[in-house]
Amino acid sequence: MSNYLFDAIQANSPGEAPFIRTDDGRIWTYNDALAFSGRLASAMEMLGIRPGDRVAVQAEKSAEALMLYLACIRSGAVYLPLNTAYTLTELGYFIGDAEPRLVVVSSAARENVEKIAKAHWAIIETLEANGSGSLLNLARDEPSDFVDASRSPDDLAAILYTSGTTGRSKGAMLTHANLLSNAMTLRDYWRVTAEDRLVHALPLFHTHGLFVATNVTLLAGASMFLLPRFDADEVISLMPQATMLMGVPTFYVRLLQSPRLDRQWVANMRLFISGSAPLLAETHVEFENRTGHAILERYGMTETNMNTSNPYDGDRIAGTVGFPLPGVTVRVTDPATGAALSGEETGMIEIKGPNVFKGYWRVPEKTAAEFTDDGFFISGDLGKIDRRGYVHIVGRSKDLVISGGYNIYPKEVEGEIDQLEGVAESAVIGVPHPDFGEGVTAIVVRKPESALDEKTILCALKHRLARYKQPKRIIFTEDLPRNTMGKVQKNVLRQQYADLYLDRNRAS
């Protein structure tokens, strides 16, 4: 019997070597992780979870939460991580769409989420950041020698919901082969070994923190400092003991604000990686000047994991995302015709490789529309490949906003704003922000004689949208620019407000 992904993880396990060091001083060895995840898998089996069942998890970051991910892989369940900032309305959609058999939340959220879970015939259990919770109570006396479920390369390992510019979020179906192939490629490309110690300050509900950081660490037999969240002082304090940091551009902006960050302090560090949002060239240059390290920027998506990376050896060029990873093909095509474009021409980025997802959960027509006849995934990103082979991402064909590494689609935010009394219409855009890459910004037209102000709208959205989706600014205008077909010209708005946050004293 073979479990495709977990077999590889177990084969690279160095036994009693440390896997996780938590911020409270606990150390989990690889053997601890195998035993604990085995007990959790046994508990889920006792609850009736079978291979193919979805397990939705909205839990604070912890070593136990990582063990639950491993338990799902072992049991053949499909792991469905949910952002801890999602509201009840948002959770209702995800639970209704994915129809998980088990929903795991915090004790504080249980009462409200239980109503949603029961409506969809799901079991609900709890998991706390401090290692307590009803699920862990169930697992405490279960056997650790769980018989792993048989899984093939094409079986689903996870569903991650991704944003688009229209409609609701779609579930990207990722297989065991998708996750394993990408993690092994990155391990080798970035030369991660058992000697590495990663500072893990990313969330566990996102591709970057869950699949890139965690799976690469596991398949290298390396270790990690598992931090509950990013704290610049704590991250800097760990650098003399660590060798790697994976982060989003915001991390590096904040790190540069510390006077402790210099070449001597980071002497033990081997690699700084950035992704999930564009890294400003000025951040790249300033970081290298201060530390002697060129940040390695890479390019990935929820649907594909990682596609390209700047080289480990060689020039890491600011403003580029490097070369296609081994086994991954990236091409640039004419967005209108699909015809291949020659070097230096800007067009649609298309991707093919073992990293590319299986399709969108229960939306076959959307899946078909996003793939070409010869099997390339149409990314929605505009870019070019220069004469040296470096990939440049120059924009997006869709209006997706990426803020702090998170995807936000404007239609959802606009829908909430437009429901407010006194709002005639709104347009949500992303504009350059020194900390977050892009700042979510709402341009609002009031109804006649309305006295609606910025504070009122922001307060109204606090309980309707996850915090990262909430606009950083509300700008009022008499009307929105439109083309001859009546479509709002968001490109005009982005140009008009391009400097809104570039004055750091005004950025929020």
Bridge-based pairing of strands 27-29 and 170-175 is unpaired
Based on the number of CB atoms within 10 Å of its own CB, is 342 exposed (0-12), middle (13-18) or buried (19 or more)?
exposed
Q: What's at 202, amino acid-wise?
A: L
Phi, psi of 137 (to 5 degrees): -65, -40
387: pLDDT strictly greater than 70? yes
Q: Residue 396 belongs to what H/E stretch?
A: strand 391-396
User: pLDDT at position 1, please?
Assistant: 66
pLDDT tens-digit map of 71-111:
999 999 999 999 998 999 999 999 999 999 999 999 999 99
Residue 157 — pLDDT band, cuts 50, 70, 90?
very high
Q: How many CB atoms lie within 10 A of CB 473?
A: 19
Look at the block and give the residue holding tokens 């307590």. Answer: 132
Helices 63-75 + 4-11 axis angle, to 10: 130
In the beta sheet, which residues pair with residue 395?
382
- Residue 21 CB burial class (10 angstroms; 0-12, 13-18, ≥19): buried
Q: Picking from 337-341, 348-352, 354-358, 379-383, which range would have the lowest pLDDT averaged per residue?
A: 379-383
Strand extents, DSSP E, 121-260: 123-126, 156-162, 170-175, 197-200, 223-226, 244-247
Q: Is residue 167 very low, low, confident or very high in pLDDT (cuts 50, 70, 90)?
A: low
Provide the percentage of residues in the chain whose pLDDT is more than 70. 96
Q: How confident is the model at residue 503 (pLDDT cuts 50, 70, 90)?
A: low
Band of residue 493 on the pLDDT scale cut at 50, 70, 90: very high
pLDDT for the residue 388: 96
Locate 274 and state its tokens. 């950035």
- Which residues have CB under 8 Å from 428's CB, separation 6+? 401, 410, 413, 414, 417, 440, 441, 442, 443, 471
